[in-house]
Chains A and B, each alone.
With several copies, the nearest count.
Chain A
């Protein structure tokens, strides 16, 4: 098992680095190819949100185990404006920016576990997990 990896998210290139780190760990955890692809795609969406909507922050990526299965967990943390209306934010196509409004709703569909902690003015913390089969 590897150490949790902490990666800054301060610019475009950091989003690419987060994708790559998640891929490496998903490979190590032996996620099937399709699940690797789903997790990396979700991570890309969430890391971009941390950058664009959260004003930057960091990601923590690690291999996890629940006793039965291995998996990969990724957490995205920012101290930005937070999200006031989660129902709205998770609506396909809803965006306050210039995105497609699929990041939150879509990435939730792509992972096995999705946890969000946010409040106006208190930043956003999203944790996602994908388990090997």
Chain B
């Protein structure tokens, strides 16, 4: 079965979905991510879907479920890179990505996660240079 790698970057888990996931593989990813959150104590999950040509109701539900499960495990989920055509199609399909935060790209997602964490008083991942994120 095709397995999507879950990458740990500091306190963040990053997943870049590049394959046309069958339903079984989508459930597997959901499970892998939960396991890795528990195992690493990660506080943020970034899911890059810039390579995905479609998001149907099954993948949409996977994203919502990942966000909900992460929250229970004290991690915030941000989905990045959604293509415009995918966003338009999701709306027409009637799918609201419940509880899923989105951002344009990984840097913006990191900024969102850093802010969320700041509120809770935990430092996360600091990006130095021009893209400085408030700590």
Contact = CB atoms under 8 A, between A and B. Distances in A.
Direct contact of A and B (CB under 8 A): yes
A102 B93 contact: yes
Contacts of A1: none
B94 A34 contact: no
A107 to B, nearest CB: 7
Contacts, number: 71
A106 B94 contact: yes
Contacts of B24: 12
B93 A110 contact: yes
Interface residues of B, number: 24
Interface residues of A, number: 27
A100 B95 contact: yes
Nearest to A103: B57
B60 interface: yes
Binding site secondary structure of chain A = helix
Contacts of A65: none
A18 to B, nearest CB: 11
A5 interface: no
Contacts of B86: 37
Contacts of B92: 38, 106, 109-110
Given A33-B85, A103-B57, A20 B20 contact: yes
Interface of B: 20-25, 53-58, 60-61, 83-86, 88-89, 92-95
5 contacts: A37-B83, A37-B88, A38-B88, A40-B54, A107-B93
Interface of A: 12-13, 15-16, 19-20, 23, 33-34, 36-38, 40-41, 44-45, 48, 92, 99-100, 102-103, 105-107, 109-110
